[in-house]
Every structure is written in C-alpha cells, then in structure tokens.
C-alpha cells in the first residue's frame, strides 16, 4: 500500500468488465459458487473523483441504481485502503447489469492505493479481483483465481434492459433449477430468464436486428453480441488490455 496524498484532486477511470462465458462448476460449503469464466475489460467506464472530506456522491446517467452510503463498494474500498476521502462517481456503467460497475469502482480505488492483494479484493466482491487486474483472463474459484490471457481486440454491442438482475437471486434460482448447463456458454442464462422473463424480449429484439445470437453478460441483465451495431438504447464498446484505466489525464 502506498501513502495516499489528497492535497490535489484525483480522478480515476474505472472500466467495466464483460463475462464472455461462464460455467458454474460447484458450490463451496459456505454456499459461494465456483466458476470457470472468461472475462474482458471494456472501455465503457465510470469516472471517480476523490477529494478531501468524507461521504459519497453519485452523478451521471446511471446514478439512481447504486447506493450512496457506506455500503457502496467504492466506499468500502476506501475503508480497506485506510484512506478517508470524499468520492464523486460519475456512473456510466449500469448497476445490476452484469458489467461489474460497483466492482470496477472498488478496483480502481484499490489500484490507486497500491493494493494488489487478491484476498483484499475478494473480500469486497467476487468480481473485484479481476477488475483490479483487468485485460482478458480465465477466472476460477469464486473469482479470485486469475489466469491472464492474451488481449484480443473486439467490438461488442451491449443492450441493458430497464429491469435489472440481482446476482444472489439468479444464483439461488440456478440452485433451485438443479444447475442447468447452457449450450450458449453462460450457465446462468436459464435462471436469469426465469427470474426476469422480460429479458427474453430484449434478447430476441437484439438478435433479430443484428442477425447474431445474443449472450447474457454474467448474471444479467445485459445482452451482448460481437460487432458494432449502433442504435438507440445500445452501447458499442471495445475490449482493452491490462493496465487500461487508472488516473484520468
């Protein structure tokens, strides 16, 4: 951990993650699920401003769906870093979308504070360890085992429905359904559709207009296809390598 100096305002870029594939391989005694997944970092990102003081303020188009108190992952990351400060987060990554918005914010703060311990990251959330490392990687365990992979430049088109998904609820439904295996590469797809049936309409619309087979991002609710298909309500993003992000110039 490095000494943090907040005499000058700090601005950090917190990039989203995208889960390209996800297999649920088991369950630990404590109920946490084991996975085998491939994740990549996207250039879709939040911007975090840290100044002296305390508290957290959310602004931006996705500010309404994230907590503005000490339960926010970014605030918890500041506590883990032992660094008091006021956070202003411009939320561009939607919450409950499977894109790791809260995890991305926490990871950006851990990187800034010089905290690279996967155990610290994992205590904040299962996606935080990957978001700290970034790039492209194979992920296993509950998310804390990271095997870096070579970067592949990709464009993806994302559609995030208005109705969002709760990750714990999706995993509970997956358990209740006795662990379905998805032929498309994301074992949580059937559970997400069972919990939020309206996801099917969004998936079908994206598939019909692009000619591609949409895949669910993590536990949802975002659907994605490879390639650029810009249209209202969609976000076209590019994968980025390890090290992208950090302090904003």
* First CA to last CA distance, the chain: 22
| Cα pseudo-dihedral 215, 26, 142, 186, rounded to 10 | 0
Contact 53, 80 (CB under 8 A): no
Note the helical H segments in 49-198: 73-80, 101-112, 118-124, 128-133, 167-176, 189-195
Report residue 62: phi and psi, to 5°.
Answer: -110, 25
Any catalytic annotation for residue 9? no
155, β-bridge pairs: 238
Sign of CA pseudo-dihedral 242, 243, 248, 249: negative
Any catalytic annotation for residue 91? no
Enter the tokens of residue 193. 């559709």
DSSP 8-state assignment for residue 63: G
Catalytic annotation, pick one of 5, 17, 69, 208: 17
Catalytic annotation, pick one of 46, 105, 127, 187: 127
| Residues marked as catalytic | 17, 127
């Amino acid at each position: 951990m490095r000494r943090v100096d907040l005499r000058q305002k700090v601005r950090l870029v917190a990039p989203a993650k995208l889960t390209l594939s996800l297999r649920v391989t088991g369950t630990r005694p404590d109920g946490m699920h084991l996975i085998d997944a491939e994740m990549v970092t996207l250039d879709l990102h939040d911007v975090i401003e840290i100044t002296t003081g305390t508290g957290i303020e959310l602004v931006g188009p996705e500010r309404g769906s994230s907590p503005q108190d000490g339960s926010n992952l970014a605030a918890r990351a500041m506590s883990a870093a032992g660094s008091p400060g006021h956070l202003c987060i411009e939320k561009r990554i939607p919450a409950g979308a499977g894109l790791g918005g809260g995890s991305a914010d926490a990871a950006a703060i851990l990187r800034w504070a010089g905290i690279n311990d996967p155990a610290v990251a994992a205590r904040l959330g299962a996606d935080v360890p990957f978001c700290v490392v970034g790039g492209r990687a194979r992920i296993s365990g509950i998310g804390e085992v990271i095997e870096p992979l070579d970067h592949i430049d990709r464009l993806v088109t994302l559609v995030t429905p208005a109705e969002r998904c709760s990750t714990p609820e999706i995993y509970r439904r997956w358990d209740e359904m006795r662990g379905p295996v998805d032929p498309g590469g994301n074992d949580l797809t059937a559970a997400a559709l069972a919990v939020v049936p309206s996801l099917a309409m969004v998936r079908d619309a994206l598939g019909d207009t692009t000619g591609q087979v949409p895949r669910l991002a993590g536990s949802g609710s975002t659907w994605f296809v490879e390639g650029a298909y810009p249209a209202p309500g969609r976000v076209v993003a590019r994968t980025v390598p390890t090290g992208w992000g950090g302090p904003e110039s």
